Amino acid sequence: MKLNEFLKSNNKKQLIGNTSVFADSIIEEFTIKNGGSFLISPIDIKKLVKELSIEEIIKSGEKYSNEIESVLFIYDLLKNTELEFFKENQISLSLAQEFYNLIQELKLTNYKEEAFNNNRLRDFLKIFKLYNEKHKGIDYGDSIKIALNFKDDQIERAIIENTDLRYYEEKLLNLLNVKTIELDKYEFNKKKTEIISAFLREMKF
């Protein structure tokens, strides 16, 4: 589906991209070229999942655990757990961040425990199990399972083609009947380059 087809109706809409900035840039470019105003907001998959799950999380009495809190929790686990591969001088916040990313990845995919067949992977599996056992609060991987029970809110949603999705993210979007927006390849690559260039300019001092 092309963006102009998606925007035909006057219903409230969301456009999902790898980042909300990227989705917003696509909407902005379309509006500049074609004129008009549209009831559409940009969003990324993480923000969408939180939006769909937060009400149920609050009702349950659980606390939503943000990424920083979860990374610090993993850092403490790494410091206080006997590991095969990772040595004390290798434990850092950056390693905890890496473990957090892998934990969320694992929560969002189907995995087999027998695949963890070396000491580095066994360390990760050990931390993963301890995290699931001891971590308090709902993290992103948990919240997406809650979002899978979300009832229709009459918002039309579409996702920009080639947006990165894991198993449960894709499952959620299928349940929400999210359409896919096709972009011209040149337009897509050009826009991606413009965003990266703008980001690099912002990073310069």
Q: What is the secondary structure of 46-113 as a DSSP string?
A: HHHHHHHHHHHHHHHT--B--HHHHHHHHHHHHHTS--SS--GGG--HHHHHHHHHHHHHHHTS---G
pLDDT at position 56 is 92
pLDDT at position 1 is 86
* Average pLDDT of the chain to the nearest whole number: 86
89: pLDDT strictly greater than 50: yes
pLDDT at position 186 is 40
39: pLDDT strictly greater than 60: yes
pLDDT at position 202 is 47
26: pLDDT strictly greater than 80: yes
124: pLDDT strictly greater than 70: yes
Mean pLDDT of 69-98: 95
152: pLDDT strictly greater than 80: no
Burial of 181 (0-12, 13-18, 19+ CB in 10 A): buried
The reported pTM is 0.79
